[in-house]
């Protein structure tokens, strides 16, 4: 058996040197810390305002002359996410949203309808292509998040031609098939949990092409296709999650000019997601219908940058 020093030397010389981007990681950490402080301040101020409103309501609405027969009021209003508005913006000009928690629908299967509640900070909006976005479609600093339910097929688009890519039935199969399509900066799927559901996470980098190119997802019960990756230098962070048997794919993408802090914010938004599954037989609320992305199933290929 090796002596301590021999083993120490072997481990030091034969194991990988990670060469981390220390400055980049420091920038990311400081951005996260600032974001946490901002959120806490906002929550604190919101709490103060809410308390003031409640106290004012109690003072103004209190029946100073006691009526013994009157029942005590019960406040059972739950904290709920706001549905995305019916008036969406456009791909080239997203409609701005106030910061808050919103509910969006994962495009795809009708039932069970999967909805996502997520926290949006300032600077986000919605358009007729994606659930939420920060800017025009072709702006290099734009970030977007979208979700698809019941994805079962993948097609690679190259110069207007589509080629089907085989996938298996599981979330890992889907994640692995997607991982095989990205460029050099792509990563393998790694296990992850999102809102208590298991799945896989991977990063896909746009492979780039001399003509328009992308990866399309074919939904299980719809024939439309949705572009997943964009032009070269675009990055997609993809979560493939099994939500009660429905494969939900969440794509958080950013253009090449997005800063480290903006990328960190993108991931934080995804990590704020909770899922709402609507079973068959339940009516789809009008607010949910309003969330349908009119142009989402068009094959909008990225323009060359």
Partner 1 sequence: MRTADRGEFEQVFRSGYPSVLRTAYLVLHDRGRAEEVTQDGFLRLYQRWSQAVSYDHPVAWVRKVVVRDAIRRAERERRQQPGLVLVDREANDRLPDLDLLQALAELPSRQRAAVVLFYLEDRPVDEIADLMDVSESTVKQHLYQGRKRLSQVLVGGVVGDVG
Residue numbers of the site for partner 1 (CB under 8 A)? 1-2, 4, 7-8, 10-12, 14-20, 22, 25-26, 28-30, 32-33, 36, 187-188, 190-191, 198, 201
d(CA 171, CA 82): 29
Return the closest-CA partner of residue 107 out of 149, 152, 145, 151: 149
Q: Which residue has the tokens 């990055």?
A: 235
Tell the smallest beta-carbon distance from residue 268 to partner 1 (Å). Answer: 12
Return the closest-CA partner of residue 247 out of 265, 211, 221: 221
Choice between 175 and 296, CB closer to partner 1: 175
Choice between 8 and 303, CB closer to partner 1: 8
Choice between 115 and 171, CB closer to partner 1: 171
Choice between 55 and 198, CB closer to partner 1: 198
Choice between 97 and 207, CB closer to partner 1: 207
Tell the smallest beta-carbon distance from residue 119 to partner 1 (Å). Answer: 18
Tell the smallest beta-carbon distance from residue 30 to partner 1 (Å). Answer: 8
Tell the smallest beta-carbon distance from residue 237 to partner 1 (Å). Answer: 10
Choice between 29 and 55, CB closer to partner 1: 29
Tell the smallest beta-carbon distance from residue 40 to partner 1 (Å). Answer: 10
211 phi, psi to nearest 5 deg: -125, 180
**β-strand pairing of 82-83 with 100-105:** parallel
**3-class SS of residue 226:** strand
Burial (CB count within 10 angstroms: exposed 0-12, middle 13-18, buried 19+), residue 189 = buried
289 phi, psi to nearest 5 deg: -60, -35
Tell the smallest beta-carbon distance from residue 171 to partner 1 (Å). Answer: 13
Tell the smallest beta-carbon distance from residue 185 to partner 1 (Å). Answer: 9
**3-class SS of residue 154:** strand
CA end-to-end span of the chain, whole Å? 59
Choice between 137 and 189, CB closer to partner 1: 189
d(CA 255, CA 232): 9
The CB-based long-range contact list for 254-258 (8 Å cut-off, 24+ gap) reads 254/142, 254/143, 254/144, 255/139, 255/140, 255/141, 255/142, 255/143, 255/230, 256/140, 257/139, 257/140, 257/141, 258/141, 258/142, 258/143
Choice between 28 and 158, CB closer to partner 1: 28
Tell the smallest beta-carbon distance from residue 178 to partner 1 (Å). Answer: 16
């Amino acid at each position: 058996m090796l002596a301590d020093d021999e083993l120490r030397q072997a481990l030091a010389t034969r194991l990988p040197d990670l060469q981390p981007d220390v400055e980049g990681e420091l920038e990311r950490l400081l951005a996260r810390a600032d974001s946490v402080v901002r959120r806490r301040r906002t929550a604190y101020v919101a709490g103060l305002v809410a308390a003031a409103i409640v106290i004012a309501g109690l003072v103004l609405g209190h029946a100073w002359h006691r009526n013994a027969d009157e029942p005590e009021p019960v406040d059972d209003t739950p904290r709920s996410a706001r549905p995305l508005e019916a008036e969406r913006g456009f791909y080239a000009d997203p409609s701005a949203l106030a910061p808050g928690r919103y509910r969006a629908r994962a495009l795809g299967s009708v039932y069970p309808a999967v909805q996502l509640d997520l926290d949006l900070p300032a600077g986000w909006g919605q358009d007729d292509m994606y659930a939420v976005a920060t800017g025009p479609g072709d702006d290099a600093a734009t970030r977007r998040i979208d979700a698809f339910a019941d994805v079962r097929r993948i097609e690679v688009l190259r110069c207007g031609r589509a080629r089907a890519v085989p996938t298996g039935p599981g979330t890992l199969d889907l994640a692995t098939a997607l991982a095989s399509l990205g460029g050099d900066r792509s990563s393998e799927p790694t296990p992850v949990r999102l809102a208590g559901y298991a799945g896989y996470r991977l990063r896909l980098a746009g492979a780039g092409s001399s003509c328009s190119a992308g990866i399309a997802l074919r939904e299980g019960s719809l024939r439309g296709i949705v572009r997943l990756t964009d032009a070269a230098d675009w990055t997609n962070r993809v979560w493939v999650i099994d939500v009660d048997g429905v494969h939900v794919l969440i794509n958080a993408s950013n253009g090449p000019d997005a800063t480290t802090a903006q990328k960190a914010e993108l991931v934080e938004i995804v990590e704020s997601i909770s899922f709402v599954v609507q079973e068959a037989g339940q009516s789809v609320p009008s607010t949910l219908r309003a969330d349908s992305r009119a142009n989402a199933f068009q094959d909008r290929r990225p323009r060359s940058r």
